[in-house]
Amino acid sequence: MAQQALEEVSALKIRIRFSKHGPIKFVGHLDMVRYFQKVMRRANVDIAYSQGFSPHQKMSFASPLSVGVTSQGEYFDIEVNSSESSEEMIKRINMANAPGVEVLSYKLLPDNAKNAMSIIAAADYLVHTDLFHEDMIKSFISQDTINVIKKTKKSEKEVDIKPFIHDIHLEHDGIFMKIAQGSATNLKPQLVLSALSLYSGITLPEYILYERLDMYCLENDTLISLEDIGGNIE
């Protein structure tokens, strides 16, 4: 029924949320793009293609995930010619997925919705470490400024990252942080943790697990999860 109702509508905008855990966390962003292009074909998703000499699937990802970082809040947008219900599409895509990748939601977006890549403004992370206590974190974030040396390909410059840390606190399984991300400002959780360790006088181990929890856009000065835009197809 859902497919029949939607077949006559062209270029349906869909947002897919997925998680990424286990060894596949070491697969880079471009390889994940190619991976999902193949999954769309294996799952028989009626995805739309661009016009021209080299048609490609209409697909865009919200924000690249660093290699080695796990996530339960990754997003990409696609356009489809027709669709079954969200429940059926999630089941179909997950049957084609490799271990460690799971689609969590499949939402129909409004026609005027912008793609996730262009609107992302912040992201939640959980840093799995027990090296810090709450007083350290409170003292760290209470500073007037948090200056760090940010390296680019061409130079280094001192930057105050405090305005880009929306929240940071201790949870039972690590440090939670909500930080600015996107095209305008892209603060990495590794840089925040490095600044915290330097401030606290704690040496970080060679490897720490970072997990992205969710991503947000800004609407009327309020951060809204990318998953909260649009709705399920019944």
Q: What is the pLDDT of residues 56-105, one digit of tens each?
A: 999 999 999 999 999 999 999 999 999 999 999 999 999 999 999 999 99
Specify whether the CB–CB gap between 170 and 192 falls below 8 A.
no
Max CA distance (Å), the chain: 62
Task: Summarize pLDDT for 194-224 with one digit per residue, the tens.
Answer: 999 999 999 999 999 999 999 999 998 999 9
Residue 124 located in a structural domain = no
SS3 (DSSP) at 36: helix
Q: Summarize pLDDT for 101-125 with one digit per residue, the tens.
A: 999 999 999 999 999 999 999 999 9
How many angstroms separate the Cα of 131 from the Cα of each of 110, 128, 201? Answer: 44, 9, 11
CATH number at residue 83: 3.30.70.580
Is the domain of 112 the same as that of 184? no
**125 lies in a domain?**
no
Kindly report the number of other CB atoms within 10 A of residue 59's CB atom: 18
* 233 within 8 A of 106, measured Cβ to Cβ: yes
Q: How many folded domains does the chain comprise?
A: 2
Tell me: do 56 and 104 sit in the same domain.
yes
Same domain, 111 and 145: no
How much is the CA Rg of the chain, to the nearest whole Å?
A: 20
14 and 43 fall within a common domain: yes
The pTM assigned to this predicted structure is 0.90
The answer to whether residue 214 is domain-embedded is no
Which domain covers residue 110, as residue numbers? 2-118+226-232
CA atoms of 127 and 3, how far apart (whole Å): 42
The answer on 197 and 170 residing in a single domain is yes
Residues 77 and 9 in one domain: yes
Q: Are residues 101 and 144 in the same domain?
A: no
> What is the pLDDT, as a whole number, of residue 6?
46
Residue 215 included in any domain:
no
Q: Is the pLDDT of residue 153 over 90?
A: no
Q: Are residues 88 and 135 in the same domain?
A: no
In a domain, 213, yes or no: no
Q: Are 234 and 88 in contact (CB under 8 A)?
A: no
Do the domain assignments include residue 80? yes
Q: What 3 state SS string does 116-169 have?
A: HHHHEEEEEEEEECCCCCHHHHHHHHCCCCCEEEEECCCCEEEEECHHHEEEEE
Which pLDDT score is estimated for 150?
Answer: 81
C-alpha closest to that of 178 among 222, 130, 230: 222
Same domain, 109 and 187: no
